[in-house]
Chains A and B, each alone.
Chain A
Amino acid sequence: MVATLAAAMLVAVASQRQTDTTFAVPAGASLSVNNFGGGIAVHAWNENRVKVHGDVGRRGRVEVSLVGNTVVVKTGSREGAPSVIDLDITVPRSMGLTLGGTYADVTVEGVQGPISAETVNGEINVRGGKGIITLHSIQGSVTLADASGRIEVNSVNEAIELSNVTGEIKVETTNGEVTLTGIQSSSVDAGTINGDVVYEGTVTDGGSYSFGSHNGDITVSIPERANVTVTVATANGDIDASFPLPMTSTAGRHRKTFKIGTGSARMELESFQGDIELRRPQEIRERIDEHKRDHHNDNDNDHDSDRDTSFSSHFDAGTWDYAARYAKAYAPKYAKAYAPLYARTYARTYARTYKRAYRDTDTTSH
């Protein structure tokens, strides 16, 4: 085995812009990757081999070694400041992953082992995973789909989205939305300070569910035959349900308890400023689909308007005057409303564009 991996030892030389190596790994081996900046993309295949591909530029390098039963992939720079390196790694499907970076986007696709991913400035997008799954980012959204196990997901300044996830779930961000759909769990704890929380999933007898926000709305699905005691608390928001709620107690102005069915599961819904909505699962699914369609159309419209410069000829002077007054009256209001909605999207788009531009400059200027 040592000989196998020794042969696979990879150090990119200066003349190479890319590195590529494939080597066998023992059963049960895990992967540890540390990439300061760029991307870490991990895919799965049904072979007991690991393939490491790296776009390293002129100054970057990639090192692969075996420490114990762990394949360790490290990136570095041959000189000066750290390089931006994109890693594309293919691993056995059940391999456990520990992925870390500072300015790195992390993508995992199809792996069915435990996954730990942590970055400071970058997105984390994982499809798959089984066992203990921990995903942490400071400045970057985190998405997880088709996973099962004990899930812990954190961001600070971006949204978190989980879909088709099974197991014990703990999710927290500060400035972003939390959207959980297709969840099968008896234990969910999700919260944010500045953003909405949406939950669409099972409510299992004996389960425990907690959703909280300071500034956002909480929307949860309650299946038709659920048995749950729902405690709802809000300081300044409203409580609304699309079905009758049998109240069992009220504690002060801010907290109410409802018992649905036998009340076996416990659910706590708390928002300081926002509203709390209890809906049927189908209503939430439709709302999410609608939101996605709107978002898609918005992007299309933006794209069209960027290119279409001929509309001005359709307006006469009177219309222009009206438009000018309208714009003056409503621009501050709409700017205020739209800036928080679109700032993150545009920031991400521009960050990707300029990262590529920077990388191209970096590789062509030497």
Chain B
Amino acid sequence: MNDLWTNRLSEYLDGELDSTERAALEAHLATCGACYATLSELRGVVAYAKTLVDSEPATDLWPDIRARLVQGSEPRRHASGVRSRRFTFTVPQLLAASIALVLLSSGGAYMALRPGTSKVTPQPAAVRQQGIMTVANVDRGTTDAAIADLQATLTQNESRLDTTTVRIVRQNLAIIDRAIVEARIALQKDPGNAYLNLHLADTMRRKVELLRRVNDIAAQS
């Protein structure tokens, strides 16, 4: 992977490269599968992020945000008053971004099943509002923590599912876990390998999606 171009992919996607840079990058993409793969992932993440629905917060968050920004400059606002969504990632952030988006989109079922909350508890508005920030900051550590939370929630709600389903789900989670371990071992030997990074991220995403799906089923039972 060419670091020079990899770090410009986000700008390319946002249309912020000049024509010369754009042409050079496109020429590079035609011959670099790694950069092309990264760009494809980035496109997928951005497309998915754009599908997230903007919602009004339950409470006005702006006073708190402004208080935290008091030492900085006021954020620029578009003339129209509507801020367009812009998503810029570095490669490590990108690896976790797709997982984070799955987590964000699965928040409803997760929150519904979380011990101590009502089944109809909505996803906190703050989480939705801060989604981009969460995406940008997430790393594998937080993904592991989120998986652990989802898994704990499932453990507590397994009684809503029949034993066959629980057994099948456990078997398949074990299959995914083995894949994650194997990918991690391979990455330890070759930390800079883009394929292994993406493969690990994708395998973790699958685990999140399976947990989310089973939690959804438990919530409906």
Contacts and interface: CB of A to CB of B under 8 A. Distances in A.
A249 B32 contact: yes
Nearest to A173: B172
Interface string A153-182: 010110000000000000010110000000
Contact of B165 (A121, A231, A268): A121
A34 B174 CA distance: 31
A176 to B, nearest CB: 10
Given A121-B164, A214-B182, A270-B195, A255 B33 contact: yes
Contacts of B104: none
B165 A139 contact: yes
B183 A157 contact: no
B195 to A, nearest CB: 4
Contacts of A232: 33
Contacts of B203: 193, 214
A288 interface: no
Counting chain B CB atoms within 10 Å of each CB, which of A232, A248, A257, A273 scores highest? A257
Given A138-B165, A270-B199, A272-B182, A251 B32 contact: yes
A144 interface: no
A232 B37 CA distance: 10
Interface residues of A, number: 40
A173 B196 CA distance: 20
A138 B195 contact: no
Contacts of B36: 229, 231, 257, 266
Interface residues of B, number: 36
Given A120-B165, A121-B165, A193-B179, A253 B190 contact: yes
Nearest to B164: A121
Given A175-B175, A193-B175, A231-B37, A156 B168 contact: yes
B194 interface: yes
A156 B37 CA distance: 26
B127 to A, nearest CB: 25
A194 B32 CA distance: 29
Contacts of A157: 168, 171-172
Interface of A: 120-121, 136, 138-139, 154, 156-157, 172, 174-175, 191, 193-194, 208, 210, 212, 214-215, 229, 231-233, 235, 248-249, 251-257, 259, 263, 266, 268, 270, 272-273
The 6 closest A-B pairs by CB, nearest first: A257-B33, A231-B33, A233-B195, A251-B34, A214-B179, A174-B172
Interface of B: 1, 30-34, 36-37, 40, 162, 164-165, 168-169, 171-172, 175-176, 179, 182-183, 186, 190, 192-196, 199, 202-203, 206, 210, 213-214, 217
26 contacts: A120-B165, A120-B217, A138-B169, A154-B213, A156-B168, A174-B175, A174-B206, A193-B175, A210-B40, A212-B202, A229-B36, A231-B33, A235-B186, A235-B196, A248-B31, A249-B32, A251-B1, A251-B34, A252-B190, A252-B194, A255-B34, A255-B37, A255-B194, A256-B33, A268-B37, A272-B183
